[in-house]
A and B are shown apart, each in its own frame.
Chain A
Amino acid sequence: MSGPRSASLLCLLVPLCLLSACQPESDTADAMPVTQLLGGSGGTDGFAVAEQGVAIELPADHGAHNAFRSEWWYFTAVLSDAEGSPFGVQFTIFRQALRPPQGTPPECDWCADHAWLGHVAITDVNGGRHEHLERLARGSPGLAGAVAKPFSVWVDGLSATSVGAEFLPLRLFARSADVDIDLTLDPGGRLVLQGDRGYSAKGPNQASHYFSMTRLPVTGTLTVSQRSHQVTGHAWLDREWSTSVLSGGQRGWDWLALSLADGRDVMAFRLRRADASRDPFDQAIVIDARNQRRYTPEHFALEPTRVWRDERGASWPVGWRLQIADEVFHIDAMLDDQLMRTMVRYWEGLVRVSDADGTEIGRGYLELTGYERDAAKQNE
């Protein structure tokens, strides 16, 4: 998945791109106008762009790709405690370049070229709670950054760090008054190279490098509302880096990552266009032990079936019907209010997957973006 995630990232990081604190004062050419990022047909402005044929190389590609404008490390986990109570965890760290690569190291430690953003959320379904936190930091040593080997990415106290020399096992750590997680992701999942061997086209001139790791076994502790829970489950990691900009006419997207009980993983996204037409870059993918099968827009459908209104009046579709070929999946949020009330608001939460008979056949994560803007437009 690429386009939607880029758009999401860009929506999220619009404030960050304003934080270009170390611009040379007399040289305005490097300044980053907001419009260049939000719209327009491209303009890479000195950043690297995704190229077809460039292979994903691990473990090096676990680290940061500073030549690209933006990238993220996106973990979602479907968990349960010993009593079977369901929990969901989202742990995301974003990097946004504040200016194109200068070719020289920053002039001072405070002079960061990148801004880093961290989002962590816990969904406690039985407790009816969704707690989240947001951290923002400049990319100064120690405050935020990423290292490929041994792997670590961190922002202001949030960290995803390899336990040993290898990428996995990996420890996710966050501590705050409301949200505490200490989870270990173990080896044993699947590596999925998105798009064409990791080259993921988003539009006619937009692309990213993108891979995922699914079904990573998880154990650990999470604390929400001062109550601790020992949990197990599995996690999904998305890694993507790009310099692409949004294509015109996009309002947002809807994205699903599902882990089915039969061992398959399903990912699908739908770009929502202003003219309500189907975006040709919508995609679905079904992954099993042996195959990865991709479906273009003609071969799958993703339709909302139920909405939830937030306190500002925005309607978020939290129930969906996904049809891939002949198979139908009913997806429903396990908790309606899993809204991320962060600098940019988006909905990211734990969902239940049911078959046509209503039998639960899996769980996963749903992401919804751009519905705030819709509500604002309706109110105008």
Chain B
Amino acid sequence: MAVHLIAVSVDRSLAKLTAPWLGDDVLVLRKPAAKLDDYVALRTAWRNGDLAETLTEMTPVLEGEIENANSALHILGIDAFSWRVGGLFDSTLNADDQSVAATLATGAVLASEELPGDALLLQTALGEVRTQAWPLGALPENWLVADIGQVSRWLGTSEGSADLSYVLATQRQRQENWMGLAERMLPGVTAAAGQGEPELAGLPEGWTVARAGSDNTLRVFAGSIMFNLAALGSLSAVVAGFLLYQAAVVSFQREALLRQRLLALGVQRGTLRALFLLQTLIDGIAAGALGLLLGIALARVALSLTSPDAAIELTIDWVVWAKALGTAFLVSGAARMLASRRDSSVRKMPWITAALALAMLPGLFFDSWGLLGAFAGLLACCLLAVLTVGPGFVFADRFSVSRLPTIIQLGVNQLLAGRREMGAALTALALAIATAISIAVMVDSFRTDLLRVLDQRLIDPVYIALASPAEAEDEAGAVLRPSSVGRAASAELRERIQALDPDAVITATGEAQARVEGRRIDIMYGPFDSAHTRRYGYDRDLADGSVLANEQLLRAFDLVVDDALEVTRGDRLQALKIEGSFPGFGDVHPTLLVNVADAQRLEIEPRWSRFAVASERADALLAALVGDSRWRVRDAIGVRRSAEEQFDQTFAITRALTVLALLVAGFGTLAAMLALRLAQARQLALLRALGVSRRELWLMEVVRGLTLGGFACALALPLGLLMAWILCAVINPRSFGWMVSFQPTPAMVLPALAIGLGAALAATLISNWRAGHNPGADTSALVTGSGARGSESFGGDS
């Protein structure tokens, strides 16, 4: 539940950062160099019923960039007459509760909240234009929305025929209710499952269709994170399921005699079943409610640790309650039901599990199965590993321990004999340790990769990024609107650096956006000589027509180095060749590195926003430049440290969750130990009667605990490493587009093993302490024979 609440909170934060029309029910229809006639033909086809009848609304969009006092704003022109697309325009403006649609229709401009409202000064194709802008909180930073005719004139596309960038259309989804509910229950599942490419019957020739949401890479990215977290959080439920099953088995055994006597006294089976259901109900409500309360507390702690400054908003709605109680009921009910059926159907379980696992395993090998397939494959590996526990016990049993010292022999023997009680606990513990190993290996491998990339990139001592308008303040602390960033700031920055150190070498880059196959990519442009490209693992000047691509781009478009790709920006199309690739850790979008000439061919007017400065006088530069609100200055060490901190903060939750899983497994092992002690109480009493001392009994139990821990570690180690490899090589690429190098070291693995072993030992000692030791009471039962039967056997079944 903690994971669920965190994921929903993250999703809500992200929703505030992304354009509201990029919803899952919005389609983007594109045609290269589309004109008004093309749109008319498309719209007519729709109105005539020739397009899929699930389309409910359609609007043309003209997108571009427009300058506001030397900073670039993104402007979206839409048809104010067909404004219901995407849900943006059903919202109301913040100030006056006036409808967005009506405001747009008056010719006003809608702007993101940080832009000035009263007098927005725009540099347009018509010259300088002053216009009033209405703030709309739903818009991302630096965005404007206006009527398409207005935008067309401002962008200067009015000569000749009309232009449009694409068409947005809303589609009534057949499965929207189910998918919506699934997404609420398991945040991130729609991103993980992938909705596949949409199909639109009757689309006129030349048009392509894609989901608007897939353009929203940040949301897809976040969806992957959420799903990863959800999968991890589900582990606790799985572990709990095993432990509940084991506890249920023991309790059923204990109650077997009672049940038989009740039946003999005339109580009906139906009544016993009702009792069974009642117990499940009580389990479910208690566990669900308690789990939810704990989850809320954990979520608050986790969120406060990762975002100390942000206000924490947790939504506790019916979905959260349903998930908490539902999971509790499901796990409890399934465990109890399985435990109650000690017949042939249970014997079939391993075969069913194996079949299920084999069916899910291909998810690892086919990218098209998406993230959900990858996790299914991961689960399959866990299930197959779990299936080895039973045969493992049988196999171990064959080894004669008779030659070992008596106490060790007795301890091991007791464990192997208690496989019914210990099997599930062993499985849970092994899974928890394996998960801890896999997370540790993946995170540490990732960290190693990240630091290596940082070392490769951060070869200059000083890094400067121009501040966005929202961050600029004047001396009084008032926000400058518009702020004096952009070209003026860039020029001044260069002057000041040169003044302080004439020998300083400044490497400047700028950023822009473009499209490949209709999908958005980021472009970073700059001189990209060999000194610069070396930071990306490429040791030559970037020639005209050549680009470097990040891993996400290669993966997104199924390309490799030496492939060609076509980049479009507006109506410009440029064919480029991929000369090399670089890891894109943290890059949300597919990215290309492009030299200045190619950028200009794409009609990107160079606006330098990031500067790397190589200087002997780095300290003086830092001291002189820090504090100006127009730019952010960092030294390489600071950047590296900041990256490390962010990384550690990001994975703090993940690590915390693995500890939680280990804790759960530890409790389960304790419960199993207590159960086993109970089951073997007579045995222990007999041993005492035969002359085994209390200390020797204690030692025997330590041996049992260490053996259990050892078995769990032996299973967890290979499983954990396999899971780590899957996380690095399959799940990370499918989630975020980048692969992490699998680099296990003993230091990554040993802590988890030690904790696992320690958990088993602690469980043993606690159970020992809890059970106390009253030989008189134990053995007197033997002596008096009370409640005993000659042929009784405990824990010795195979």
Give me the interface of A with B, judged by CB distance under 8 Å: 15, 18-23, 25-26, 31, 107-112, 115, 136-138, 140-143, 156-157, 175-177
B41 vs chain A, min Cβ distance (A): 8
B249 to chain A, nearest CB (A): 58
Q: A26-B130, A110-B162, A138-B79 are in contact. Are A157 and B153 (CB under 8 A)?
A: no
Task: Known A19-B81, A107-B158, A112-B149; judge A25-B131 contact (CB<8 A).
Answer: yes
Contact B158 A111 (CB under 8 A): yes
Contact among A21, A109, A136, A156 with B43 in the assembled complex (CB-CB below 8 Å): A156
In the complex, which residue of chain A has the Cβ closest to the Cβ of B35?
A109
Residues on A with C-beta less than 8 A from B44 are: 142, 157
B147 touches A21 (CB 8 A): yes
Return the contact of A108 from the options B60, B107, B153 (Cβ within 8 A): B153
Is the pair B149, A22 in contact by a Cβ cutoff of 8 Å?
A: yes
Please name the residue on chain B nearest to A137 by beta carbon.
B81
Given contacts A107-B153, A108-B153, A157-B44, contact A18 B36 (CB under 8 A): no
* B46 / chain A contacts, CB cutoff of 8 Å: 157
Contacts of A136 in B (CB 8 A): 81-82
- The chain A residue sitting closest to B77, CB to CB, is A110
- Max chain B CB contacts within 10 Å: which of A20, A21, A142? A21
Chain B interface residue count: which class? 35 or more
* Candidates B79, B147, B161; contact of A22 at CB < 8 Å: B147
- Nearest Cβ on chain A to B368's Cβ, whole angstroms: 35
A140 to B81, CA, bound (A): 11
Residues of A within 8 A of B271 (CB): none
The answer to whether B149 and A15 have CB atoms under 8 Å apart is no
| A109 CB → nearest B CB, Å | 4
A21–B36 Cα distance when bound, in Å, is: 17
B residues adjacent to A (C-beta < 8 A): 36-37, 39-41, 43-44, 46-49, 53, 60, 62, 77, 79-82, 102, 105-107, 126, 129-131, 147-150, 152-153, 157-158, 161-162
B contact patch SS:
mixed
Report yes or no: B153 in contact with A111, Cβ–Cβ below 8 A. yes
Other-chain contact of A109, B36, B129, B130, B150 (Cβ < 8 Å): B36
Docked Cα-Cα span, A251 to B144, in Å, equals 40
Residues of chain A with a CB closer than 8 A to B102's CB: 15, 18
CA distance A112 to B105 in the complex (A): 12
Taking CB atoms, residues of chain B closer than 8 Å to A157 are 43-44, 46-48
Q: Which of A15, A18, A110, A141 contacts B148 (CB 8 A)?
A: A110
Alpha-carbon separation in the docked complex, A250 to B444 (Å): 79
Cα A21 to Cα B47 with chains together (Å): 24
- With A143-B40, A143-B43 already in contact, the answer to whether A109 and B161 are too (CB < 8 A) is yes
| Chain B residues in 8 Å Cβ range of A156 | 43, 47
Are A109 and B105 neighbours in the complex by a CB distance under 8 Å? Answer: no
Cα of A22 to Cα of B148 in the assembled complex, Å: 9
Contact B152 A108, beta carbon cutoff 8 Å: yes
Contact (A142, B81) CB under 8 Å given A18-B102, A111-B149, A157-B47: no
Return the chain B residue nearest A106 by Cβ. B149
Interface hub of B53, B60, B106, B152 (most chain A Cβ within 10 A): B106
Q: Does the CB pair A138–B149 fall under 8 Å?
A: yes
Residue on B with the closest CB to A154?
B44
9 A-B contacts, Cβ less than 8 Å apart? A21-B107, A107-B158, A108-B157, A110-B162, A111-B152, A137-B81, A141-B37, A142-B39, A157-B47
Q: CB-CB < 8 A to B148: which residues of A?
A: 21, 110
Contacts of A138 in B (CB 8 A): 79-81, 149
Chain A nearest Cβ from B169, distance in angstroms: 14
A137-B82, A140-B36 known; 7 other A-B pairs, CB under 8 Å? A21-B149, A22-B150, A108-B152, A111-B149, A136-B81, A136-B82, A137-B81
**Complex CA–CA separation, A18 to B131 (angstroms):** 17
Closest to B150 in A: A21
A22-B153 contact, Cβ under 8 Å, with A110-B148, A111-B158: yes
Closest to B164 in A: A110
In the bound assembly, the distance between CA atoms of A23 and B80 in angstroms comes to 14
